[in-house]
Structures are given as C-alpha cells and as structure tokens.
C-alpha cells in the first residue's frame, strides 16, 4: 500500500509518475500554510473529542503530536516529501508516524477540501490584519510630513499642467485619505471572511454529530459557513484580499510615480532619501529613484495575481476542482509584494527632503491664480462666471505674450479688457492669498488642513 499512496492507495495499482508529481504537488509552496493547517487540525480534534467522536486519550495524543510537528517545522527539522503532495497530507502522515493509529482518526468528519479552505482563510485574515497595521504606519508618517508642510506652497496639477496653488501638506493629506479608505476595505474584507468553512467536509456536510460552532469559535471566526457546498467551492475571500491589495497598490503606484517625477531635476520638488536611490554605472551625477520605480512596477504583480485567480475561478463547476490549488502562489506573491511596498513607501515618505524653493519657482509659470482673478470678477464686479472666465483668459494671453506673471500685468492693461477691474484685484493674484482663500471644507487653506489633520480617523 505505501508504495502507491498511503492516504488513498487502496484504489490504485500504480504510483503517480514523476511528471504528475511535478504538476500536482503543492507542498513546495503550500508548506507556508503549516501554522494555519496545524491550528485548524487542533481545533478540529478538540471538537471531535468534545462531541465524543474521539476519546480524550486519542485527542491528547493528537494534540501532542501536532505540537511536536509544529516545533519540528519551526526548527527546520521536518522532512517535506513531495510525494505527499501537500501540507495537509505531509502533516497527517507525520502525525501517524509519531502517534500511530490515533493519527488516522483526525481526518474524521472533514476532508482536504474544507481543510484547505480554512487554512487559506486563516492565512488571508492574517494578511488583512498585516496590511491594516502597515497602512496605519504609513498614514502616521504621511500625517507627520503633512503637518510640517501645511504652508509649503506648490503647484497643484491637472493634466500635469499647473492648475492652482496648493500646499505640499495638502497633497500628502490626499494620500492619507486614500490609504485610510484602503484600511477600511481590508477591515471590511476581514469581516466578510468571518465564517469558518471547516467541518463542511468534502461538499455535502457529514453524518457525524459535529459542532461547527465550537470549531469556528476556536479559530476566531464569528460563525460557521451556512452551506457546505459553498464552503469548499469559493475563493472569493482570496479575491477580495487581492482586490483590496490591487486598489492599495494602485494608490502606492501613483504616489511612487509622483516621487519619480517630483524628484527629477526639472521639477526638483523633493529629494528621495539617499538610501532608497541608486547610482549609475556610467553617469556619476545620478541618484536614481529606483525604490519608487519598483513600487510603481510591482503593481503589475499584484494585479496579475488578481487576474490569475479571477480567471482560474470563472469556469469552475461546484464544488472543488484542483484548479483551485493555483490560488496559492498568486496570493503569496501578492502578499509579500504588498508588505514590502508598504514598508518601503513608509520609509521613503519619512525620509523625503522637501524643496520648498523649487515648488515655489514652479508656480511662477502657469498662471496659477487665474481662477482667483475670475472669482474676483464674479464677486467684486458681479460678472457671470463664464464671462469672467473669458476676460481672465484674455488677460492671461496678454501676460503670456509679454512674459509677465498675472500679478505683474499693469492695471490699465487689465482695464482695457474689463473696465470694472480695480487696484484691489492684486490682493488675490499672489499665491499665498490664493491658498488662504480656499477655505471651504476640505480645501487647501492652511487652517482647513490643520483642522482636518487634527481629526482622528
Ligand atoms: N493541495 C490542495 C489545494 O491546495 C488541497 C485540496 C485537495 N483536495 C482535493 N480534493 N484534491 O487545493
């Protein structure tokens, strides 16, 4: 029997070929689930004993055996044999070696289908918590840097063209908000994946008198899943993590992109911390923003994992198919990528040097207070906004043709375009007053931003 397969050898005459083992075995990567697998088995054994399906003697042996295996794995003494296929069978086989017959009773009233589902759910829940904790670190740093830069004026862009003056603190606070929503998404995902699939068995439930509420509670879930077929069929919780991770990675990528652009010489708004840049092998002057570029690029891996699993799942009939084993490498890669990115981004934002002088210089061009001029015409001269927009456009054209900033255009030139313009228009044409004027809720005015930053969310 053992020559074929010690778990199901009874029905087989031949062992799997080498090639079959290569395509079939998940042990090389799902060994990463060992802690979740043992935790799930311990809870299951405790439940079986509580229900009188195992004797307390048998349970004790199983618990001790599993604890020993956990230690063997953690000490690097465990023999991961590929022919055992996956982590579930590797642990069970070792348990039998260690404790004999009682080991074979652990698999009563469960199957690998609910076992892998619960292992994965436990793993993904931990990754949600990890992402939340790291996002909180990143937000703490963003908030600190935003508070330091409430009055640091820079151009705000649309189409990457100078639009209106904003503060660098306001800019950072925008990302603070985005990452705040990412946290909520991961927390919500954690909550949605709050039902325990263990005990669903192969797909239809089990004839044993089990107590799935007890198992669920032992493993920190709110309740057991309500349909055994659903429990072993879906991987929507993995997809949900990957969706949250994809959105978060997209946010990280935009911030990374702006670090690349803002740290380039023509902008010079920020300097990347030197420990996160690298030099060129030929151009001695270079200090390239590699960390930011890689954060921008790694987004593709996370989207890739989401696309992989969506594609794996889309045509599968209920319940389990081996296709679902392909969820693992995609998930693990996305988790590792996201964790690394969040740590690097936190360090980069913390170490950024802010070049307020260059930010200010960039506001000299691009007529950033043109909207303020139009607003002045609306408020002070009672001109409809559309017309005010047109008048301002004409004045901007004059300024551009004469190489002037808006505040340098002589009053009589402005009056040629619109006779109602008076001397006090100049008060709104400098960038500070433009910034201070935007004090609507959520606006860039320093007082507004200070209030938003002082709120605990
Ligand atoms: N290694 C498998 C996986 O990751 C475990 C479940 C196997 N179940 C089965 N019926 N073959 O999906």
Q: What distance in angstroms lies between residue 380's CA and the mean position of ligand 1's atoms?
A: 73
Closest atom, ligand 1, to C-alpha of 30: 4
Q: Do 441 and 333 fall into the same domain? A: no
Mark whether 326 and 240 lie in a shared domain. Answer: yes
What is the reported pLDDT for 4?
A: 65
Pocket test for ligand 1, best of 325, 330, 331 (most atoms within 8 A of CB): 325
Record the tokens describing residue 41, joined without a space: 């088995």
- Determine the distance separating the centroid of ligand 1 and the alpha carbon of 271, expressed in angstroms: 49
Nearest CA to ligand 1 atom 2: 325
* Cα 112 to ligand 1 centre (Å): 6
Q: Do 248 and 343 belong to one domain? A: yes
327 and 368 both lie in a single domain? no
Among the three residues 324, 339, 361, which one is the final residue of a domain in this structure?
361
Q: Is 452 inside a domain boundary?
A: no
In the three-class reduction of DSSP (H, G, I as helix; E, B as strand; rest coil), residue 365 is classed as coil
Q: Are residues 346 and 381 in the same domain?
A: no
Same domain for 248 and 147: yes
Catalytic residue set: 159, 280
Classify residue 223: in a domain, yes or no: yes
Calculate how far, in angstroms, residue 19's C-alpha sits from the geometric centre of ligand 1: 18
Mean pLDDT (the chain, rounded):
95
What is the residue-level pLDDT of the chain in tens, covering all 457 positions?
445 676 677 788 888 899 999 999 999 999 999 999 999 999 999 999 999 999 999 999 999 999 999 999 999 999 999 999 999 999 999 999 999 999 999 999 999 999 999 999 999 999 999 999 999 999 999 999 999 999 999 999 999 999 999 999 999 999 999 999 999 999 999 999 999 999 999 999 999 999 999 999 999 999 999 999 999 999 999 999 999 999 999 999 999 999 999 999 999 999 999 999 988 787 877 789 999 999 999 999 999 999 999 999 999 999 999 999 999 999 999 999 999 999 999 999 999 999 999 999 999 888 999 999 999 999 999 999 999 999 999 999 999 999 999 999 999 999 999 999 999 999 999 999 999 999 999 999 999 999 999 997 6
CATH number for the domain including 42?
1.10.275.10
The answer to whether residue 5 is domain-embedded is: no
Q: Which residue among 318, 344, 361 closes a domain?
A: 361
- Residue of 86, 120, 316 to test ligand 1 pocket, by largest number of atoms within 8 Å of CB: 86
Q: For ligand 1, what atom is nearest to the CA of residue 202? A: 10
The alpha carbon of 85 and the centre of ligand 1 are apart by a number of angstroms equal to 9
Q: Same domain for 271 and 399?
A: no
Position 379 in a domain:
yes
Tokens standing for residue 450: 């200070």
Share of the chain above pLDDT 90, in %: 93
* Entry pTM: 0.94
Task: Report the domain count for the chain.
Answer: 3
Q: Whose CA is nearest to atom 3 of ligand 1?
A: 325
Q: CATH number of the domain at 433, please.
A: 1.10.40.30
Q: Which atom of ligand 1 is nearest to the CA of 26?
A: 1
Angle 218-222-226 (CA atoms, 0-180°, nearest 5)?
A: 105
Let me know whether 268 and 205 are in one domain. yes
From atom 7 of ligand 1, which residue's Cα is the shortest distance away? 112
Q: Which of 112, 124, 321, 324 to mutate to test the pocket of ligand 1 (most atoms within 8 A of CB)?
A: 112
- Residue 281: the pLDDT is 80
321 lies in the same domain as 382? no
Q: How confident is the model over 134-153, as pLDDT tens digits?
A: 999 999 999 999 999 999 99
Distance between Cα 94 and ligand 1 center (Å): 18
Q: The domain that contains 138 carries what CATH number?
A: 1.20.200.10
Residues 122 and 38 in one domain: no
For the CA of 324, the closest atom of ligand 1 is: 12
Q: Are residues 338 and 197 in the same domain?
A: yes
d(CA 357, CA 352): 15
> Over the stretch 432-453, which tens digit does the pLDDT of each residue have?
999 999 999 999 999 999 999 9
Q: Whose CA is nearest to atom 1 of ligand 1?
A: 86
From 297, 332, 361, the end of a domain falls on 361
Shared-domain flag, residues 373 and 397: yes
Q: Helix/strand/coil (H, E, C) string of the chain? A: CCCCCCCCHHHCCCCCCHHHHHHHCCHHHHHHHHHHHHHHHHHHHHHHHHCCCCCHHHHHHHHHHHHHHHHHHHCCCCCCCHHHCCHHHHHHHHHHHHHCHHHHHCCCCCCHHHHHHHHHHHHHHHHHHHHHHHHHHHHHHHHHHHHHCCCCEEEEEECCEEEEEEEHHHHHHHHHHHHHHHHHHHHHHHHHCCEECCCCCCCCCCCCCCCHHHHHHHCCCCEECCCHHHHHHCCHHHHHHHHHHHHHHHHHHHHHHHHHHHCCCCCCCEECCHHHCECCCCCCCCCECHHHHHHHHHHHHHHHHHHHHHHHHCCCCCCCCHHHHHHHHHHHHHHHHHHHHHHHHHHHHHHCEECHHHHHHCCCCCCCCHHHHHHHHHHHHCCCHHHHHHHHHHHHHHHHHCCCCHHHCCHHHHHHHCCCCCHHHHHHCCHHHHHHHCCCCCCCCHHHHHHHHHCCC
Per the structure, the complete domain to which residue 47 belongs is given by 17-108
Residue 226 C-alpha to ligand 1 middle, in angstroms?
Answer: 21
Answer whether residue 3 is part of any domain.
Answer: no
Q: How far is the CA of 168 from the centre of ligand 1 (A)?
A: 51
Instruction: Report the nearest atom of ligand 1 relative to the CA of 320.
Output: 10
Residue 171 lies in a domain: yes
**Ligand 1 pocket residues where CB is under 6 Å:** 26, 30, 86, 112-113, 116, 320, 322, 324-325
- Provide the pLDDT for residue 1: 41
Residue 457 within any structural domain of the chain: no
Q: Choose one of 115, 124, 198, 320 to mutate for the ligand 1 pocket test, by most ligand atoms within 8 angstroms of C-beta.
A: 320
Q: In this structure, is residue 286 part of a structural domain?
A: yes
* pLDDT score recorded for residue 199: 98
């Amino acid at each position: 029997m053992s020559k074929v397969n010690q778990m199901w050898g009874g029905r087989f005459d031949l062992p799997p070929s080498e090639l079959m083992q290569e395509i079939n075995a998940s042990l090389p990567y799902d060994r990463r689930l060992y802690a979740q697998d043992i935790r799930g088995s311990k809870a299951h054994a405790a439940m079986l004993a509580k229900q009188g399906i195992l004797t307390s003697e048998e349970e004790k042996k199983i618990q001790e055996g599993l604890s020993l295996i956990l230690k063997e794995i953690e000490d690097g003494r465990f023999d991961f044999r590929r022919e055992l296929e996956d982590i579930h069978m590797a642990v069970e086989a070792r348990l039998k070696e260690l404790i004999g017959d009682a080991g074979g009773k652990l698999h009563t009233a469960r199957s690998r289908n609910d076992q892998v589902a619960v292992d994965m759910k436990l793993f993904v829940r931990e990754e949600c918590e990890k992402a939340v904790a790291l996002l909180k670190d990143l937000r703490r740093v963003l908030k600190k840097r935003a508070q330091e830069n409430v009055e640091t004026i820079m151009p705000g862009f649309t189409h990457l063209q100078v639009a209106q003056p904003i503060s660098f603190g306001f800019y950072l606070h925008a990302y603070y908000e985005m990452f705040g929503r990412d946290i909520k998404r991961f927390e919500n995902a954690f909550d949605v994946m709050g039902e325990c699939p263990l005990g669903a068995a192969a797909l239809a439930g089990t004839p044993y008198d089990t107590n799935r509420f007890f198992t669920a509670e032992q493993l920190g879930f709110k309740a057991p899943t309500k349909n055994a077929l659903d429990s072993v069929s879906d991987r929507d919780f993995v997809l949900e993590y990957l969706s949250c991770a994809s959105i978060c990675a997209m946010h990280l990528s935009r911030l990374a992109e702006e670090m690349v652009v803002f740290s380039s010489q023509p902008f010079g708004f920020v300097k990347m911390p030197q420990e996160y840049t690298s030099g060129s092998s030929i151009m001695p002057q270079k200090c390239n923003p590699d960390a930011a570029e890689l954060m921008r690029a790694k987004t593709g891996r996370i989207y890739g994992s989401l696309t992989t699993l969506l594609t794996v799942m889309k045509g599968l009939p209920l319940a389990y198919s081996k296709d679902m084993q392909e969820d693992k490498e995609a998930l693990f890669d996305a988790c590792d990528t996201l964790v690394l990115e969040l740590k690097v981004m936190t360090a980069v934002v913390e170490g950024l040097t802010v070049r307020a002088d260059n930010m200010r210089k960039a506001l000299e061009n691009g007529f950033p207070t043109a909207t303020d001029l139009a607003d002045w015409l609306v408020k002070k001269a009672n001109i409809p906004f559309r017309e005010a927009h047109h008048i301002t456009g004409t004045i901007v054209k004059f300024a551009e043709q004469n190489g002037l900033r808006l505040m340098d255009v002589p009053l009589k030139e402005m009056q040629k375009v619109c006779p109602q313009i008076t001397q006090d228009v100049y008060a709104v044409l400098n960038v500070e007053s433009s910034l201070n004027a935007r004090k609507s809720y959520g606006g860039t005015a320093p007082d507004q931003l200070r209030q938003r930053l002082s709120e605990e969310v």
